[in-house]
Structure 1
Amino acid sequence: MDKSMQIFTRLLQVLRQRAVWTMCVVVFTADVVSGIVVPTFSLYAASLGASLALIGLLTSFNGLTSIVASVPIGLLSDLRGRKQVLAGGMLLFALSSAFYTMVPNPWLLIPVRVMGSLGMIAVFMVGVAYMGDVVAKEDRGLAVGLYSTAMGLGFTVGPAAGGLLAERYGYRAGFWLAAGVALVGFFVALWGLAPKQRQPAGSTPVTTVPMATRLRLMAQEPNLLAASLANLANNVVFTTVFSFVPLFAASLTIGQAAIGSMFAGRALASTVARLPTGLLTTRIPSKYLMISALALAGLTLMLVAQVDSPAALAVLMLVDGVAFGMYLTAGQSFITENAADLDRGTAMGVYNTAGSIGGTIGPFALGILAGVVGLAAVFRVTAVVALAGAVTLWLLSARGRNTATTPQESATADFSG
């Protein structure tokens, strides 16, 4: 009981910090915006005359933009400060949401989609690095738990508000609401986020280390490599669930309303799991929580391939939500705990890029597989990917060590496990 009270007290102390709760408000507004835009975007594009092929292309730009831009944006936040990048990301959210309402034809949605994707990277990814900057190392798991919970709550509110407005007043009304919410987040970021901290005296300036050298050194770190490969596997699981479980549910004669409720329950389970996972990182190393989450996701998908009952599938989606919430929080905590202060944004960029590769390539490859051998095989293959990610994380992270031998190397990597 004493230890539990101590952890709860620490949680309150972390939450009382202006730099922390302000970031939680910012990421909440960002995910409200995402929650408004994401569910209605394809329908809006279709209303403008977009073909299914164009809608698929527009959807893929999220992953493609993330693959290309995650590391540069992370590096920019290391060099120029997180606050400027985060505020800029919220401004991109606001502008892209407003521009959606102004395009005269669906092809012009492409540059606006890229703008919104850049905003997502700048806020969601850099926000994690920011949390690692403003709290003590032993509190980073708690801070990331709060952060990811705020994200989940935002994505719970956004679809409800956006769907209601779209139904009553049209899609553009929802996008204007998203733009307004994003502007609130922008001004909150300018007002409350902590500015870039001064570099400690005697440390090696990051700008003296070429970007290619920094990335090469970081890629050689077993812990970062392990976490990135695990994130690739986790995103394959995530996109498989959202791409193919609805089709599988429909084959079980589950109606659209029930499928929607099933995924709403999954989202709630994911959100509920995040803060407890952050609390657990104070007692259990985050990499073990990541391994447990991937293993749970893999076993869940193995069972999905076997079920023929709507109730059983709904329960498994709740379990998958818990696994995703655990992994999201533990994975982000792992990076913030292990990355050097001067390179945390770049490390998050590498981690995010790997996840985006999994989320972009996975659905395409698994879609081909589904057409050949059926949906059940897709779930089994994805389960193997998840379990392989867990094993890879276990094996590679066991080799984690601090390989820095020069001041420049020390400035670029600190994944000592």
Structure 2
Amino acid sequence: MSLRQSKIVAVALVTFATFTDIITYSVGFPVLPDLGRRLGASPTTIGLLFAAFGVTLLAVSIPMGAVSDRVGRQGPLAGGMLALALSTALFAYATSLPWLFAARLVQGAADAVTWVVGFALIADLYGPAERGRMTGIVMSGTSVAFMIGPSIGGWLYEAGGIRLPFLVVAAVAAVGAVAFVWFDPPSERVKRDPVPISAVLTVPAVARCAGLVVAIATTLSMVEPIFSMHLQTDLGLGPSRVGLAFAAAALGNTVFHPFFGRLSDRFGARRMVFAGLVTSACTLPLLGTAWNLPSAIGLGVLQSGAFAVGITPSLAYMAEATSSTGIESFGVSYGIYNVAWAVGLLSGPSLGGFLFERMGFARLTLAWAPVLLAVTWLLWKVKSPHAETYLRADVDAGRREPAGAGTEIARAD
């Protein structure tokens, strides 16, 4: 097999794409507020500018997943990276707030394409015995991006002015677009019948996986900002020391994600996701016991590892839940995954801030842990209404019919 058709190259390109996407997202943290102020934006407007990213991410995820199921993965991935490059370059030359909002909205759409179609490509190329390991590699790369993105943005800003961070990242994204044009995915030559979005949405195992993802994302996005506030207000740590604690957790994730991805291949993705939620609930109250910087670093790394137990296997579980029905519309299923993750990211910070003001950090973590355990137990107990077989999608009629004789499929719920 040539390099253009290598599965390992596919993983490397998806890792590069998600890495670039996270760099693009995080490089704006130290730069966008200043750029917005130069164009007359108030703090509220700057907040809306950051939030605009999530609007198109939610709107585009499932439709673009469905498109990639029909036309293949290569075109959407190349187009997504090109859109990322152009929108990021637009930030460098924007002269008014509407242009900033337009660029941010396009970035959100490009993010949806990169993550949804990228993981769908990996699900196309790798079976259940290898998906966890491969998704772990991709997630390890994103952890590095989260760790260095804001620093790169700040350094480039100070070195070359407000345009340089955006132009550098735009150039990197353009390289990614060219790489996907060059790549020839083996999955593109396999006929893939289009499946109605409704057929995937009504698969019980897919719905369960989406529920688990919402629980993980809500808890993660709740804990991160209030843990930062706790370290500053209750322990008196400065921003640089708080950043060090989070950098240590991100560094740990570069090891955690590949490790737990391998474990999910061995023990099953579904079991690992539930184990991750239980572990996260058990370690969460420990964060409230941090008393200085070293303890905050240690407990933060521990909690980050607990989250990783569930996050990486959840990506493999979504593919497993979809393929267990005989459906191979991985684009739609990862679109659902992306929407579930976005719902959690949108709800977690506001809920966490509301509870933090009224309960404080230690009490909040003690109160949320049993809530997370209860949600996990409920999702574990929910059973599919089907017996030993699933209904198979009738893609021509857009409806579902019982699988025929000899087509019984193992359940993933």
Q: Provide the TM-score with structure 1 as the length reference.
A: 0.85
Of 309, 313, 325 in structure 2, the residue corresponding to residue 330 of structure 1 is 313
Within 5 Å, which residues of 2 pair with 1:1-150? 17-150=8-141
Distance in 1 separating the partners of 2:274 and 2:200:
21
Pick closer, same or farther for the CA change 1:385–1:76 going to 2, 3 Å: farther
CA contact (8 A) 1:268 1:321 kept: no
Query: Aligned residues, how many?
Result: 395
Q: CA RMSD in A?
A: 2.8
Of 299, 303, 320 in structure 2, the residue corresponding to residue 320 of structure 1 is 303
Pick closer, same or farther for the CA change 1:306–1:410 going to 2, 3 Å: farther
* CA deviation profile, 1:156-206 (whole Å, cap 9, x unmatched): 343332221112222321111110111111111111251653454xx8x42
Q: Which moved more, 1:291-300 or 1:345-354?
A: 291-300
Which runs of 5 or more structure 2 residues have no equivalent in the other structure?
Answer: 404-408
* CA deviation profile, 1:243-271 (whole Å, cap 9, x unmatched): 21111110110111100111111111122
Which runs of 5 or more structure 1 residues have no equivalent in the other structure?
Answer: 1-13
* CA deviation profile, 1:194-238 (whole Å, cap 9, x unmatched): 1653454xx8x42xx5x4xx42x4333222111111111111122
C-alpha displacement of 1:291: 1.5
CA contact (8 A) 1:226 1:392 kept: no
Of 264, 270, 273 in structure 1, the residue corresponding to residue 256 of structure 2 is 273
CA contact (8 A) 1:223 1:415 kept: no
Pick closer, same or farther for the CA change 1:288–1:176 going to 2, 3 Å: same
CA contact (8 A) 1:70 1:121 kept: yes
Pick closer, same or farther for the CA change 1:103–1:275 going to 2, 3 Å: same
CA contact (8 A) 1:73 1:349 kept: yes
Pick closer, same or farther for the CA change 1:17–1:221 going to 2, 3 Å: same
* CA deviation profile, 1:252-306 (whole Å, cap 9, x unmatched): 1011110011111111112211111121122111112111222222223222234
- The alignment partner of 1:282 has SS state of helix
Distance in 2 separating the partners of 1:385 and 1:351:
22
CA contact (8 A) 1:63 1:357 kept: no
Distance in 2 separating the partners of 1:404 and 1:358:
29
Q: Provide the TM-score with structure 2 as the length reference.
A: 0.86
Distance in 2 separating the partners of 1:320 and 1:392:
23
Q: Which moved more, 1:77-86 or 1:392-401?
A: 392-401
Within 5 Å, which residues of 2 pair with 1:202-221? 205-206=193-194, 211=196, 214-215=197-198, 217-221=199-203
1:179 aligns to 2:162 (yes or no): no
- The alignment partner of 2:185 has SS state of coil
Q: Which moved more, 1:133-142 or 1:110-119?
A: 133-142
Within 5 Å, which residues of 2 pair with 1:383-398? 383-396=369-382
C-alpha displacement of 1:85: 1.1
CA contact (8 A) 1:274 1:329 kept: yes
- Structure with bigger helix share is 1
Q: Which moved more, 1:250-259 or 1:292-301?
A: 292-301
C-alpha displacement of 1:98: 0.6
1:226 aligns to 2:226 (yes or no): no
CA contact (8 A) 2:13 2:176 kept: no
1:416 aligns to 2:411 (yes or no): yes
CA contact (8 A) 2:200 2:332 kept: no
Q: Which moved more, 1:305-314 or 1:325-334?
A: 305-314
Distance in 2 separating the partners of 1:415 and 1:77:
26
* CA deviation profile, 1:293-327 (whole Å, cap 9, x unmatched): 22222223222234444332222211122123332
In the other structure, the counterpart of 2:339 is 353
In the other structure, the counterpart of 2:391 is 404
* CA deviation profile, 1:58-106 (whole Å, cap 9, x unmatched): 2222333332221111111111211111111111110111111122233
Q: Which moved more, 1:90-99 or 1:314-323?
A: 314-323
CA contact (8 A) 2:214 2:341 kept: yes
Distance in 2 separating the partners of 1:44 and 1:410:
55
C-alpha displacement of 1:397: 6.4
CA contact (8 A) 2:89 2:166 kept: yes
CA contact (8 A) 2:269 2:316 kept: yes
CA contact (8 A) 2:222 2:350 kept: no
C-alpha displacement of 1:138: 2.0
Q: Which moved more, 1:378-387 or 1:175-184?
A: 378-387
Pick closer, same or farther for the CA change 1:45–1:316 going to 2, 3 Å: farther
